[in-house]
Amino acid sequence: CSKRGIAPTCQFIPYVSGGPLRSKAPATAANHEVTVQARLRHLEQLVHVLKAQARENSTASSSGGVLDDEYSEDDLIGTYPRMGETLDMIRNDDKCSDAAKWETVLREVTAITKDFAAQTISEETAAASKQGPALESVPDIHGPALLMGGYPPVPIYDMLRYLPPRTIADRLLAGFFEDKEPSWIIFHIPTFMKHYNQLWDDPTQMTYAKLALLFAMFSVAALHSMKSGKQLPDQLGDPHDVYKAYKIRAAHCLTLSNYTEPGQYKMEALIVYFACEYVGGPNKGVSIAIVLSVLVRLAMHMGMHRDPRHCPDVTPFQGEMRRRIWTVLKDLDLVVASKFGLPGNIDSKHYDTEPPANLHDEDFDEMCTTLPPPRPETERTRVLWSIAKGRLINVFADLIAATTSPRPAAYAEIMRLDKQLEQSYSSLPPCFRPRSFSESIVDPVDLIMDRYALELTYHKIRMILHRRYIGYAYTKKGSRYSYSRRACLDAATRTLRYQYDIHCERQPGGRFAGVVPHSQSSNISSHNFLLANMIICLEIWSLKAREKALASSPGATGPLTGPTSAEIIPKEQLLDMVRTSRSIWESAKKSVETDRALNILTKMLSVSIGETFDTGSATSAEYPSRADHNTGTVANSTTLPTPQPTCHGTSPWMWPSDEKLGQDVWASDMDFTPPSNDMDGLPALDFNADWSLWDNQVQNYATDGLAEIPWDAFFQTGMPGV
């Protein structure tokens, strides 16, 4: 505006620029009164314009000149900058009727009335605290802004000032959808963009919920910029400051919208806000679970746990979008539940909502009376990945319910879930079935990442399903549990192979170089890889105990020397796997997550197999090896050099097979036939090791994750692997 010489006629918007958000015109009571008076003046001038145009039309006089004895167009524009927009609308819209013009006046009157009501509340608040609304800067809130912030009532007209200009908002929105987060299926993009454009054309349609959604989306866009290393548009400033500012603005608007009551775009805004909190910081404490419980409860109050076919008033479009939202909520609920080792908020017995249809957004819209037939699963849509993962998630939900129950599930129930999981896995759409990188040369990178995310989810469920029973393979009745031991070991070794493959492809020249994984894959990877390492360490620990038992009593038969405890994969090969996994963490980009994972894995290796590593992150002095555990390890452990992973070449170890991923490469070595005998009469087994606590501490960034993990309960004398 200054360069064009029209600065006096411009209205500047205080959007994010560098540091915290600051309003150039704090919304004090006095300033608010001036604003309302100016808008009343604007309304009076608008009436004069309409009167003048009506007189011109009636007398057929030529255009131009003075509109009234007292007012001219130039005077109006100079008096109030927004007047130019209004006049242009009136002049250029030849099809605009008188009713539409007077409707504009009516909207102004309605908006002013609402602002007077808000002004009354603001004055009462100011009288109590002698401070205006906290718009001067973003408060420093520790914890979820939605739960911790005490937000004052602010007119939506004032909150609109924190929207960036249209060009910048468009770029931030593009960055949001560029993330390709599967959870964004909650948006029907053509419909959302139509509503988005309407808000810019007519800001009077803006609500607190819609504004909260935009602010939350801008916050996620800043997060994406932080991860990808890209600059934010128009020098907005540090991405972390922008992320924090818009996240708090979103929480402020959600509070003002009374998010506890159902309404348009409230659920979408809450889900995107949850993503801001969950992905944005390493300290994902209990408060995150509380925020999610609010989302789930609100969705139930909106009836999303019942399929739309029961609700005749719900249109086909609304019903399909409700199915999408419920699918996303089920997934998020299980992610958080497994993180804390607690039951989920959603019980499979309490909902009957069907999965969404495999449709492109262009296949249906708000005006459709019926949904078209779903596309075949050979055709990839935005929704197909969530449909496929939902089949695995349904099994995972039953598993979480069984493992968090006060009464442990019988082994027969575990085997039933195992069968259900294998059926769900075999029903995955063809495009998501595992393929090696050599078979994925022409596939887009996001498709390859989606495959890996599903594979990691599948093997995570397998490990959680069977990990409680791997130690019993070394008991007198070990034959009953040998399937669990083999299945768990298979899932763990494949998971570490995927970690190695992904690490290699993230190196310069790889397919994943510079690619930012979506949160669905990045959130589960850390826990997956640590869980796989834990299971392999348990196997190595048991094999060493077996070696010691055989050395002390040659030819003896017992739990550790029987055929069911025999070596499945060579011990040295397993050692190479965990060493290389650790070296991958050590070579990764430094962050809270990678440093913490490296420390946990180093401690795990120390207490299980007696190895220490001389690194800056976890030294042998900090984590001394245990020489007193009865596992057959030498009394004085040696500090071993960290092996460096070799990518795009020979692997540091030989895997059980070099066949393509997804085939049963263990067929010749491992019997995966479930036990045929009746397991219903098998009594529930008591374990000292608490896997739920292990999950909690490994994923709980509020602690250091080391002292709280019950290592001795896993690596104890007399009960290997328990």
pLDDT at 85 over 60: no
pLDDT of residue 651: 43
pLDDT confidence bin for 666, thresholds 50/70/90:
very low
pLDDT at 284 over 50: yes
Judged by DSSP in three states, 365 sits in: coil
pLDDT at 21 over 70: no
Q: Where are the strands (E) in 139-265, listed by range?
A: none
Weakest mean pLDDT among 208-222, 418-432, 511-525: 511-525
pLDDT of residue 187: 97
Task: Give me the mean pLDDT over the 482-507 stretch.
Answer: 91
Give the contacts of 720 (CB within 8 A, at least 6 positions apart). 471, 474, 538, 541, 542, 545, 560, 631
Task: Give me the mean pLDDT over the 384-407 stretch.
Answer: 92
Q: In terms of C-beta density within 10 A (0-12 exposed, 13-18 middle, 19 or more buried), how is residue 397 classed?
A: buried
Task: Please tell me the distance from the alpha carbon of residue 553 to that of residue 637, in angstroms, as a whole number.
Answer: 24
One-letter identity of residue 374? P
- Please give the C-alpha separations between residue 165 and each of 67, 219, 244, 253, 592, in angstroms, as whole numbers: 32, 16, 19, 19, 35
* Selection from 100, 47, 95, 90 nearest residue 71 by Cα: 47
Output phi, psi for 282, to 5 deg. Answer: -75, -25
| Dihedral angle over CA of 702, 706, 707, 710, nearest 10 | 110
pLDDT of residue 153: 87
Task: Give me the mean pLDDT over the 421-449 stretch.
Answer: 92
Q: Are residues 502 and 496 in contact, defined by beta-carbon separation less than 8 angstroms?
A: no
- Structure tokens of 189? 């993009």
pLDDT of residue 90: 36
pLDDT of residue 691: 75
Torsion 612-615-618-620 (CA) sign: positive
pLDDT of residue 64: 45
> How many Å is the maximal CA-CA distance in the chain?
117
pTM of the model: 0.72
Task: Give me the mean pLDDT over the 608-623 stretch.
Answer: 51
Angle, CA of 270, 275 and 279, to the nearest 5°: 155
pLDDT at 485 over 60: yes
Task: Please tell me the distance from the alpha carbon of residue 468 to that of residue 242, in angstroms, as a whole number.
Answer: 45
Percentage of residues in the chain with pLDDT exceeding 70? 61
Q: Which range, 146-150, 153-157, 690-694, has the best average confidence (pLDDT)?
A: 153-157
Transcribe 573-630 into DSSP letters: HHHHHHHHHHHHHHHSPP-HHHHHHHHHHHHHHHHHH--B---SSS-TTTSPPPSSSS
pLDDT at 116 over 80: no
Weakest mean pLDDT among 143-152, 317-326, 488-497: 143-152
**How many beta carbons lie within 10 A of that of residue 93, not counting itself?**
11
**How many beta carbons lie within 10 A of that of residue 529, not counting itself?**
23
- Structure tokens of 533? 């390492």
* Selection from 641, 653, 602 nearest residue 493 by Cα: 653
Weakest mean pLDDT among 288-302, 384-398, 686-700: 686-700
- Please give the C-alpha separations between residue 632 and each of 475, 608, 637, in angstroms, as whole numbers: 18, 11, 12
Weakest mean pLDDT among 53-62, 112-121, 125-134, 700-709: 125-134
* Selection from 44, 91, 95 nearest residue 63 by Cα: 91
pLDDT of residue 234: 73
pLDDT, greater one: 292 or 589: 292
* Selection from 427, 424, 423, 447 nearest residue 435 by Cα: 447
Q: What are 564-583's pLDDT values in tens digits?
A: 556 688 888 998 999 999 99
pLDDT of residue 341: 77
Place of tokens 């996001």: 446
Transcribe 410-452 into DSSP letters: PHHHHHHHHHHHHHHHHTS-GGGS---GGG-TTS-HHHHHHHH
pLDDT at 98 over 70: no
Place of tokens 């069911």: 564
